[in-house]
């Protein structure tokens, strides 16, 4: 008897998106209720899946009851359930913010939002490489439209770059899939893992080429060093709620890297074992440096937030690149932290920018902003969170990464780069914080700037700040429950580093030869 809950996170947003499409656009409040209810249900579904996978082993759902490796399968293991939970929680906060602000500036926001979640959930759950491509396309097509939501010159320009580079990425993905199918005759991930390990000598080169092509695609999604340039412009110019949701998009790339290069090209892959070891770590270190330089050099608050995303993906992939149990645990702890923190930063940047009139989020001397005390406290907390100062979760994440790196041969590099970039990040956010909150005050006297009188008409500032506060509370929960979270991450890492468990769950005992 198959457990149908595995496919529910894919079906639910699809169903709701279709329903939303049928509802007349004018009836926005009903759309909002439906959309929020759907995301809330996805949080519950993710929690149920987490429960199921923490007690049992791996849940496999054969779509149409076609047995693997012939049919398409969905696989819910601990990692997939964990990612589902993170994306559902993030989506909930982003959606609440969008309902307050930006969902009415264009059409079909909620439809696209649900389709985006469909793509994300599918990408986390699928156990088939071609199916992963399809879910990638779904989430990308939704993300293109969400990115352009509301229109505008800069948004269109950044959107064009984003779309073109991702289309090239999709083509590369197809080539990689083609090579793998042509040489190994399967696209089921578990089956691939078996076949890659047993690939004959004349195919090894092609399999390795396909492996590196896939790495290129995932690195593009994750915004790793040579191909990160699409990210800052795209994230800085879209609406805040969308940018907050996109904080999970780079993590999809990181998730795929973790999944494919532990399962298919992992330790036990014979001639293609540990394929990207030696590439991932140096690139991640370089990404962290370049990202942090971007943070320092940013001229706008939202641009700074976008570069912080680049830097965080650097830290995350350093952890995964260590290729050890402890490294994966550290990465898995850092992943939700960096996602929530980046989203909070984007939302906060938008709230601050909306109070500064024409200056918006530019780093210029501006008027004193409304509710500066409350916003100041929140900005301060988010800043120390994202830079990684104690006592918040960023510190624990970075500490775990450094601890995991202690036995690594590149320790001096890892240690110095992480610590140095943390310092750079601290300087950068402290500078923007003082510009936004302290030096604005002194400008009050010289209020020749007409925007100084800008007042924002908002019902209640606490309602507006709710999503930000919830995201920060999630990060605080990560500190309080750091023990259980790292313990669970440890069980995820154990499962990942023993691909035979996954293979046996998918293919049965016959899969292991």
| Contact residues for other proteins, defined by CB under 8 A | 130, 133-134, 137, 141, 144, 148, 151-153, 156-157, 159-161, 163-164, 167-168, 170-171, 174-175, 177-179, 181-182
The DSSP bridge partners found for residue 278 are none
What span, in angstroms and rounded, lies between the C-alpha atoms of 53 and 258? 18
| DSSP codes of every residue in 273-327 | TTTTTTTHHHHHHHHHHHHHHHHHH-SBHHHHHHHHHHHHHHHHHHHHHT-SHHH
CB closer to other proteins out of 168 and 402: 168
Q: Which is nearer to other proteins, 173 or 379 (CB)?
A: 173
Reduced to 3 states, what is the DSSP secondary structure of residue 176?
Answer: helix
Closest approach of Cβ 168 to other proteins, in Å? Answer: 7
Q: How far is the CB of 14 from other proteins (least distance, A)?
A: 16
CB closer to other proteins out of 171 and 434: 171
Q: Which is nearer to other proteins, 167 or 473 (CB)?
A: 167
Note the residue count of the chain. Answer: 513
CB of 18 to other proteins, least distance (A): 17
Tell me: cis bond preceding 340? Omega within 30 of 0 counts: no
The residue (of 163 and 387) whose beta carbon lies closer to other proteins is: 163
CA dist., res. 506 & res. 125, Å (int): 13
| Residue among 61 and 133 whose Cβ is closer to other proteins | 133
Look up residue 282 and give its two tokens.
């140096």
Q: Give the separation between CA 386 and CA 408, rounded to whole angstroms.
A: 25
Smallest distance from other proteins to CB 234, Å: 13
- CB burial string 30-56: b at 16+ within 10 A, e below: ebbebbbebbebbbebbeebbeebeee
Residue 222 C-alpha from the chain's centroid = 8
219 upstream amide cis, omega within 30 of 0? no
Decide if 196 contacts 188 (C-beta within 8 A).
Answer: no
> Is the CB of 11 or the CB of 160 nearer to other proteins?
160
CA distance 45 to 284: 33
Task: Give the shortest CB-228-to-other proteins separation in angstroms.
Answer: 17
Shortest distance, position 119 Cβ to other proteins, whole Å: 12
- Cα 320 from Cα 147, distance rounded (Å): 29
Tokens representing residue 463 in the block? 């309602």
- Give SS3 for 74: strand
Q: How far is the CB of 157 from other proteins (least distance, A)?
A: 5
* Complex with other proteins: residue 92 or 136, whichever CB lies closer: 136
In the complex with other proteins, the residue whose CB is nearer, 206 or 359, is: 206
Is the Cβ of residue 163 or residue 492 nearer to other proteins in the bound state?
163
Identify whether 52 is preceded by a cis peptide bond (ω within 30 of 0): no
* Contacts for 252 with CB less than 8 Å, ≥ 6 apart: 120, 123, 124, 136, 139, 221, 222
Closest distance to other proteins from the beta carbon of 221 (Å): 16
Q: What is the rounded CA–CA span in Å between residue 370 and residue 397? A: 33
| Spatial distance between the Cα atoms of 304 and 55, rounded to a whole number of angstroms | 41
Q: Are 253 and 490 in contact (CB under 8 A)?
A: no
Closer Cβ to other proteins, 165 or 415, answer by number: 165
| CB of 35 vs other proteins, minimal distance in Å | 23
Please state whether beta strands 59-62 and 73-76 pair in parallel, antiparallel, or not at all (unpaired): antiparallel
In the bound complex, what is the minimum distance in angstroms from residue 353's beta carbon to other proteins? Answer: 21
């Amino acid at each position: 008897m198959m457990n149908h809950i595995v496919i529910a996170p894919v079906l639910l947003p699809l169903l709701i998106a279709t329903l939303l499409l049928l509802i007349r656009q004018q009836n926005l409040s009903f759309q909002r209720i439906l959309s929020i209810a759907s995301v809330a249900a996805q949080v519950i579904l993710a929690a149920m899946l987490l429960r199921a996978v923490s007690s049992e082993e791996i849940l496999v759902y054969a779509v149409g009851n076609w047995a693997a490796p012939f049919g398409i399968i969905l696989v819910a293991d601990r990692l997939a359930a964990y990612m589902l939970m993170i994306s559902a929680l993030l989506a909930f906060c982003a959606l609440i913010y969008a309902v307050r602000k930006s969902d009415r500036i264009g059409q079909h926001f909620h439809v696209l939002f649900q389709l985006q979640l469909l793509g994300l959930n599918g990408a986390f759950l699928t156990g088939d490489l071609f199916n992963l491509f399809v879910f990638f396309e779904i989430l990308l097509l939704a993300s293109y439209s969400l990115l352009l939501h509301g229109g505008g010159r800069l948004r269109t320009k950044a959107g064009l770059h984003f779309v073109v580079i991702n289309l090239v990425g999709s083509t590369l993905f197809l080539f990689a899939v083609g090579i793998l199918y042509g040489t190994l005759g399967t696209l089921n991930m578990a089956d691939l893992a078996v076949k890659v390990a047993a690939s004959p000598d004349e195919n090894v080169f092609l399999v390795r080429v396909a492996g590196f092509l896939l790495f290129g695609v995932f690195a593009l999604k994750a915004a790793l060093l040579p191909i990160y340039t699409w990210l800052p412009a795209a994230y800085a110019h879209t609406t805040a709620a969308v940018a907050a949701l996109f904080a999970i998009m780079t993590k999809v790339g990181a998730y795929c890297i973790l999944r494919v290069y532990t399962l298919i090209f992992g330790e036990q892959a014979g001639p293609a074992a540990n394929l990207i070891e030696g590439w991932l770590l140096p690139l991640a270190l370089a990404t962290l440096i370049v990202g942090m330089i971007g943070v320092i050099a940013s001229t706008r608050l939202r641009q700074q937030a976008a570069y912080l995303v680049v830097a965080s993906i650097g830290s995350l992939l350093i952890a995964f690149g260590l290729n050890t149990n402890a490294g994966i645990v550290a990465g898995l702890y850092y992943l939700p932290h960096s996602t929530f923190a980046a989203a909070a930063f984007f939302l906060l940047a938008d709230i601050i920018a909306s109070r500064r009139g024409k200056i918006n989020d530019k780093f210029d001397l501006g008027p004193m902003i409304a509710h500066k005390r409350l916003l100041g406290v929140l900005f301060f907390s988010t800043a120390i969170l994202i830079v990684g100062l104690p006592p918040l979760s960023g510190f624990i994440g970075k500490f775990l990464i450094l601890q995991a790196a202690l036995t690594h041969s590149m320790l001096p590099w890892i240690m110095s780069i992480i610590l140095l970039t943390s310092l750079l990040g601290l300087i950068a956010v402290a500078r923007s914080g003082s510009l936004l909150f302290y030096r604005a005050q002194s400008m009050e006297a010289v209020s020749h700037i007409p925007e100084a009188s800008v007042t924002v008409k908002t019902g209640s500032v606490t309602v507006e700040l709710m999503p930000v506060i919830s995201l920060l509370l999630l990060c605080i929960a990560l500190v309080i429950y750091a023990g259980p979270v790292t313990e669970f991450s440890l069980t995820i890492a154990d499962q990942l580093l023993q691909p035979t468990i996954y293979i046996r769950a998918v293919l049965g005992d016959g899969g292991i030869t």
